Amino acid sequence: MAALTKTEFPDLKLIARGKVRDLYDVDENSLLFVATDRISAFDVIMENGIPNKGKILTEISGFWFELLKDVVPNHLITTNVDEMPEPIRKYKAQLQHRSMLVKKLKILPVEAIVRGYITGSGWKEYKKQGTVCDIKLPVGLRECEKLPEPLFTPSTKAEIGDHDENIHPSKLVDIIGEKYSNLVAETALKVYSKARDYALSKGIIIADTKFEFGVDSEGNLVLADEVLTPDSSRFWPADLYTVGQNQPSFDKQYLRDYLESINFDKKTSVTLPVHVIDNTMAKYVEVYTILTGKAPQF
């Protein structure tokens, strides 16, 4: 099956193409998010995609939006194409399982990253200077160790081709103001904590994740974009977790590790071999099945 790496809908107005999603204008109140099968790593979009990956991302986001709606409102209107306006329904064959009709929001220009364990870029910084996003941490932490408390470590949102920049939480005030700086930090930690506890009950550790938030016309904070997918989170099998080493994972880390093994320059797009495509998708499907309790219906 071919990967869908670009969408074209003549009757819909394309607003933007992100690293994974194509966004279309629907009306004054709503947008259409279409999750393609594009995959990126180190902020670089790969030459080829992962067949059906966009469907997994959409289905798992829909699952989490429903589970977390009592913590914070979210932007999802429906994932059911039959419930969307007619100009969208005519493209049902392409949009089924990979599209979300969402509310228009003013998106805040930050990534709300929450870390429950020290790994990835956080581990690299900690080894150098004992901090993550310039936040001082206890001495003697080991790789992938659980942090004393989940840590809110935001980053700026870069344009495609550029890299997001980790920043100290205090710098958020200059970007989104004091009110939303505090609210984003508090809400991100609450969302992470509920998701972490649910996932652990299914045998999955959520090591870290990133959220995006928007503001509606009444000034309310709303959870947006995707949420707790293998693209935006690190998922580890709890039964294999061992402090002091890199962990097996159900997410994009497999792809990152492959790219590191070929000395990827983190700038130039490359074509992924079949075994990397197949193994990456297998991990996405596995974590989806464990978390939702059902196999993908496509």
Residue 159 has pLDDT above 80, yes or no: no
Predicted structure pTM score: 0.93
Q: Has residue 78 been placed in a domain?
A: yes
The percentage of residues in the chain with a pLDDT greater than 70, rounded to a whole number, is 98
What pLDDT is attached to residue 163? 63
Residue 17 has pLDDT above 60, yes or no: yes
What pLDDT is attached to residue 43? 86
Residue 1 has pLDDT above 90, yes or no: no
What pLDDT is attached to residue 164? 74
Q: Has residue 278 been placed in a domain?
A: no
Are residues 115 and 40 in contact, defined by beta-carbon separation less than 8 angstroms?
no
Dihedral of alpha carbons 225, 63, 78, 55, sign: positive
Q: Has residue 288 been placed in a domain?
A: no
Q: Has residue 63 been placed in a domain?
A: yes
**Are 135 and 55 members of one domain?**
no
pLDDT in tens, 83-142: 999 999 999 999 999 999 999 999 999 999 999 999 999 999 999 999 999 999 999 999
**Are 19 and 30 members of one domain?**
yes
CATH of the domain at 97: 3.30.200.20
**Are 224 and 88 members of one domain?**
no
Q: Token pair for residue 264?
A: 């990827």
**Are 175 and 244 members of one domain?**
yes
Q: Has residue 242 been placed in a domain?
A: yes
Closest to 207 measured CA to CA, from 215, 195, 190, 218: 195
**Are 141 and 246 members of one domain?**
yes
**Are 122 and 243 members of one domain?**
yes
C-alpha separations of 167 from 28, 74, 152, 154 in Å:
34, 25, 10, 6
How many Cβ atoms sit within 10 Å of the Cβ of residue 71? 15
- Strand 135-136 relative to strand 131-132: parallel, antiparallel, unpaired? antiparallel
54, amino acid identity: G
CATH of the domain at 136: 3.30.470.20
Among 182-186, 218-222, 292-296, which stretch is predicted with the lowest mean pLDDT?
292-296
**Are 140 and 32 members of one domain?**
no
Are residues 234 and 130 in contact, defined by beta-carbon separation less than 8 angstroms?
no
**Are 129 and 94 members of one domain?**
no
Banded pLDDT at 63 (limits 50, 70, 90): very high
Q: Has residue 243 been placed in a domain?
A: yes
pLDDT in tens, 196-242: 999 999 999 999 999 999 999 999 999 999 999 999 999 999 999 99
Q: For residue 213, which phi and psi values (nearest 5 degrees)?
A: -125, 150
Q: Has residue 291 been placed in a domain?
A: no
**Are 135 and 203 members of one domain?**
yes
Mean pLDDT of the chain: 95
**Are 182 and 207 members of one domain?**
yes
Name the residue range of residue 45's domain.
13-105
Nearest-angstrom CA–CA distance, 43 and 46: 10
